[in-house]
Structures are given as C-alpha cells and as structure tokens.
Structure 1
Amino acid sequence: MFIMLIYSLIAVVISSLFPLLAFILAKNYLYDREKTTPFECGFDPNKKARTPFSLRFFLVTILFLIFDVEIALLLPLVLLMNYAKPLTILGLSFSMTMILVLGLIHEWNQGALAWVS
C-alpha cells in the first residue's frame, strides 16, 4: 500500500512538472518574424504567386517518391519468406532494385540530376 502511494505521488509530480517546464522553457515566437511566416517549399509568401517553378526541384522530389515507394514495396518481401521460396523472393527484390537503379543511371546520364548546367 505504501509503495502504491509513493508511485502515485511520483506520477503526480512528474505529470505536473513536465507541462510546467514546457511552459517556462518555451520560446516566445511572438517577436520572431521568421518563425511566424509560413514556409511553402522554399517560396517566399510575400512575392508573386505566379513565379516559375523549378523543374529540377520537381524531378528530385519525384525521384525521392519513387525510391520511397520502392522501399515500401521491398519491406513486406521479408514476411513472404515463410510462404515462398527464398530464391524467388531474392530474384523479385533484385529485379525491382535493378529496374530502379538502371532508371537512376539513365537519369544521371541524361544530366537530369546535375544542378549546375
């Protein structure tokens, strides 16, 4: 009974201490103009809305999404090891990875990944 009282007291102290510390140590963003402005993909919100969009930024974003989806498709293959032959899973993952690597090499050779042209 005494131990439960001590644990309850510790829980109450910690649960009231953390919000108090967060309130005391929090930064005041009212006077920081840069922190209160919206940030939209590197665009300045105070400029014209119809500025030209960087095609290179778009391309790098699409490449990131493609490789992100590849990881999302390769991760469940580990779970399939129990239901299929490991050699089949290995071949499938290797072929998926090689298609993407060959596509990346093609993009590199075409100069699409070069920031300075």
Structure 2
Amino acid sequence: MVDPNQQLVQYLPILIFLFIALGLSALFVFLPMGVSRLTGTHNPDTEKNSEYECGFPAFEDPRSPFDIRFYLVAISFIIFDLEAAFLFPWAVSLEQTGWQGWVGMMVFLGILAIGLAYEWKKGALDWE
C-alpha cells in the first residue's frame, strides 16, 4: 500500500512553482505602481485619462452603445493572426503534403481573401 503522504509530496514542486509564479506576477503588477507613487510620476491629468484607442470615454457608463467596427477589426485581426499560425507549419511540411497540401492551403487563403475583399467592399475597414 502506498503512503498518502508520499503521494502528496509529489505535488510539492508544482505547489512551489505556483507560489513563485503568484509572487512574481504580483511583483510585476504592484512594484511599478508603488515606484510611480514613490517617485512622483503618478500624476493623472485629463490627457492621461482620455480615450486612447478604444473610442469611448473610459470613466462613463460601461453599457453605452459601442461601434460595431471595433469588433469587426478585432475579428479580422484574429482571423489573419490564425492564418499566419497555419502558414508556418504548412510551409515546413509542404514537402510531405505535396500538391494536396498546396491546393488545400490555396483554397484556405482564397476563402480568406474573398472574406477580406467582401469586408473591404462593404466599408467595414473605413473610418469616418
């Protein structure tokens, strides 16, 4: 019969790793905030608190209407990011997959190109 304490000892390295990760993440979050307060660089003004890329004021009602184009650009970014993630393994294994792999990837890229052309034609990428 196996001793239960012996089984728990096997989880000790994982527990140590979790405590170190928690400590480092807390350090990376709270140390810059503390240093900025101590050195006096924490000086918010209207320019620092203004909206940057999100397009709506940061300190208002969070349930206000939101422009759908932000979502469309974000979805497009994710799609083309995934495309890049698929292209690298395809390029590395092209010698093994042959013409079938090449044709399959061209169909995939064609579908994405048609989607991009449609999105561009509909004006989803235009800003006023």
TM-score range, shorter chain: 0.5 to 0.7
Q: Aligned residue pairs: how many?
A: 90
Equivalent of residue 95 in structure 1, options 107, 119, 123: 107
How far the C-alpha of 1:48 sits from its partner, in A, is 1.8
Aligned to 1:70: 83
> Which residue identity is paired with 1:61?
A
The CA distance in 2 between the partners of 1:46 and 1:36, in whole Å, is 8
Amino acid at match of 2:59: N
Distance 1:36 1:54 in 2: 20
Structure 1 match to 2:97: 84
Q: Which amino acid aligns with 2:74?
A: T
Corresponding residue for residue 124 of structure 2: 112
Q: What is the Cα deviation at residue 92 of structure 1? A: 2.0
Report the CA distance between 1:29 and its aligned residue.
Answer: 2.6
Q: CA deviation at 1:79?
A: 2.4
2:73 alignment partner, one of 43, 57, 60: 60
Q: Which moved more, 1:72-81 or 1:39-48?
A: 39-48
Instruction: Tell whether the 8 Å contact from 1:60 to 1:113 is kept in structure 2 after alignment.
Output: yes
Q: Aligned AA for 1:81?
A: L
Give the counterpart of 2:58 among 13, 35, 45: 45
Q: What's the RMSD between the two structures over aligned residues?
A: 3.0
Q: Provide, for residues 59-110 of structure 1, a one-character-per-residue CA deviation record: whole Å limited to 9, x for no partner.
A: 111111111111111211022224222x333222221111100111112222
SS of corresponding position for 1:78: helix
Q: 1:52, CA displacement in angstroms?
A: 0.8
Distance change in 2, residues 1:45/1:114 (3 Å): closer
Percent identical: 36
- Structure 2 length as normaliser, TM-score? 0.55
Distance 1:36 1:107 in 2: 33
* Structure number with higher relative contact order (C-alpha < 8 Å, ≥ 6 residues apart): 1
Counterpart secondary structure, 1:46? coil
